[in-house]
Amino acid sequence: MAFFERHGIEEKEAFFFFTRDNPSFPLHFHRAYEVIIVNEGELCLTIDHKEYRLHPADTALIFPNQMHEFTTIQESNITIVIFSPELIGDFWAEYKEFVPENNVFSLHTKPDWQKLSSIYNQKSFLYSLCGSLIEETAFITADHSSKTKVLYRILLFIDKNFMNDCSLKTVSTELNYDYAYLSKLFLHMTKMTFSQYLSHYRISHACYLLKNSQQSINEIAENCGYTNLKTFHRNFYNINRNSPTAYRKTGDRTAAVL
C-alpha cells in the first residue's frame, strides 16, 4: 500500500531541495511535483509500476499523485526537489490530467542551487525542466484503473471539481464506491478527513490567486468553491493565521531549503 505525504497541501508555493547519499524510500505519492536528479551512482526508480534505472545526470520529473518509490543500486548521491503545482501554474493547468509516457530525461546543465533562493529563479529552473520533458516524451491520460489508485482518483476528482459543490458523497457517486468505504480509506491514507483536505486544497489555490491575479477576494473565494464569504475568511485564517487581505499585502513567499 502506498502512503500519502502532504507536500503541496500545507506549504504555500513550496519549493525545497535536499541531497542524500544512498537513499531509499517506499511507495508514496503527494500533490506536489518531485524532481530527482542523480549526481553519482545508480538509482532504481519506480513510477506508476514502471521501472527506471537512473545514472549520473539523469533526471526524473514526477507528477502530482503519481505513485513512486526508489532504492539505491550499490551507492548513489541524489538531489530531490519538491515544489507546489502553483509555481508552474501554466504547465500544471495544461497537463494536470496527464502523465508523461517517460518521466526521465537528461539534465545537461547542473543547477546553481545557491541562486534558487529567489522565486523567479525557481520558476525559471522549473519551467526549463518542464520544457525539457516536453521535448523528450509524449503525454498520456492518467491511468485510474488499478484498485490501489482509488485515493488517486479521489484526489484527481478534487483537482477538477474543487471550485464547485465538491463533496465525498458526490465522489462516491461518481466513482461508484461506497461512501463509508471512501471516507475510511481517505482518512487512513492521508490522516485527514475529506473536508479537511478539500479546505487545504481550496485555500492553497486561493493563496496562489492572491499572489498571481488581480481578482478581488470575493471572486477568489467564489473561484475556490466558497459560496459563503465568511466561511472562506474563517478557513483562510485557520490555515494561514492571516487574513486574505493581509496575505496579499505581505508578499508571503518563502522557500525552505534543507
Per residue in 188-199, pLDDT tens? Answer: 877 789 999 999
Class of domain 3-141: mainly beta
Helix (H, G, I), strand (E, B) or coil at 213: coil
Candidate CATH numbers 1.10.3720.10, 1.10.10.60, 3.20.20.70, 3.40.640.10; the one for domain 147-250: 1.10.10.60
pLDDT value of residue 143: 62
pLDDT value of residue 96: 85
Domain extents for the chain? 3-141, 147-250
pLDDT value of residue 66: 87
Backbone angles phi, psi at 44, to 5 degrees: -100, 120
Question: pTM higher than 0.85 for the full model?
Answer: no
Q: What stretches in the chain show pLDDT beneath 50?
A: 1, 144-145, 147, 252-258
Measured CA to CA, the distance from residue 52 to residue 60 in angstroms comes to: 9
DSSP assignment of 11-73: SSS-EEEEEEES-EEEEEE-SSEEEEEEEEEEEEEEETTEEEEE-TTEEEEEPTT--EEEEEE
pLDDT value of residue 79: 96
pLDDT value of residue 255: 30
Contact 127, 165 (CB under 8 A): no
pLDDT value of residue 195: 93
